[in-house]
Structure 1
Amino acid sequence: MRFVAKALILGLTLTAGAAIAKEGVENPTVKARMDVMGIVGANTKVLGDMAQGKAAFDASAASAAQAALAAAAAEIPAVFEEEADDPVSEARPDIWMNMEGFVEKAEALETAANAMDVSSVEGVQAGMGAIGGSCKSCHSDFRAKK
């Protein structure tokens, strides 16, 4: 029962995160990108909170977050394939000028997520450095500050 409750909470969190991320977005392509990035952010937060002790470690929840993060990371290249803009988008045009570099960074995130050992809090803590580094690297090059 506890797992079901946690899975439900995680699902609601992801849904709420995606809804917030796409508020005011008019372009459906940009909305799809923001949905995927919302899933990345929500699951990174779940894992990060466990790693920092802000949330109790739960191997089942960590495993679910890891799987969702890796799956969303794998979708990033496809949802950014079409160059599209929207006033609320934070995607810089550099993405489409350097798609190869962008895809490499998305793949690095997927690799980091898949490599994380979610069987213990120590494994999650160890894996967060690579995940955070992947996010920061991509955002530094390809995300506009709003």
Structure 2
Amino acid sequence: MKQIKSCLSAVVVTACLGTVVLAHGGVKNAAVMARMDAMKSIGDAVKIMGTMNKGTVAFDVETARTAAKTVALHAAQTPLLFQAPETDPKSEALPAIWDRFDDFSAKAQSMEKAANDLSQSLSTPEDLSNGMIQLGATCKACHKEYRK
């Protein structure tokens, strides 16, 4: 079971990190760069939790809670960051974001809720593992519809 959860953790980290780091180079639009920076911060926080979940780094409840809070903070800012349909050749945001902005915003709110719930309920490595599965589902739901 631990091996399955570790594998799921790797999927979660991959879903949340994606290729944002590679996409930053050459971005000229400041609004797009701000969005990319926020997504990178989410990915970095998920990576912290993912390495703990896989056992690569020792579990530390306060560090994991802080990482979950970071995800929640940036998820809460996401609708505002995407409100204007700004574009850049390096952007991975699909036009569907603005066509279905209410749904996009709801998905960001789901991520915020999952991250807040995790930050508040997190006590054990098992809590982290279960919470990351829920958090990863929110990443995947948004990326599936709204990211190239």
Do Structure 1 and Structure 2 share a fold, with TM-score over 0.5?
yes
Tell me which residue corresponds to 1:3. none
What is the aligned partner in structure 2 of residue 120 from structure 1? 124
Offset of residue 54 of structure 1: 2.1
Match of 2:146 among 124, 142, 145: 142
TM-score normalised by length of structure 2 = 0.81
The aligned amino acid for 2:135 is: I
**Aligned residues: CA RMSD:** 1.5
Number of the residue aligned with 2:76: 74
Change (3 A) 1:53 1:73: same
8 Å CA contact 1:105–1:137 kept in 2: the answer is yes
Q: TM-score, normalised by structure 1?
A: 0.82
**Which residue of structure 1 aligns with residue 8 of structure 2?**
none
Residue 38 of structure 1 corresponds to 40
Cα distance in 2 for residues equivalent to 1:130 and 1:21: 26
Q: Which runs of 5+ in 1 are unaligned?
A: 1-17
Consecutive unaligned residues in structure 2, runs of 5 or more: 1-19
Report matched runs for 1:46-125 at 5 Å.
46-116=48-118, 117-125=121-129
Letter in 1 for 2:26: G
Q: Which moved more, 1:52-61 or 1:104-113?
A: 52-61
CA contact (8 A) 1:66 1:118 kept: no
Corresponding residue to 2:134 among 113, 130, 136: 130
Q: CA deviation at 1:22?
A: 2.9
**CA–CA separation in structure 2 for the residues paired with 1:67 and 1:50:** 16
Aligned residue in 1 for 2:6: none
| CA distance in structure 2 between the aligned counterparts of 1:45 and 1:74, rounded to whole angstroms | 19
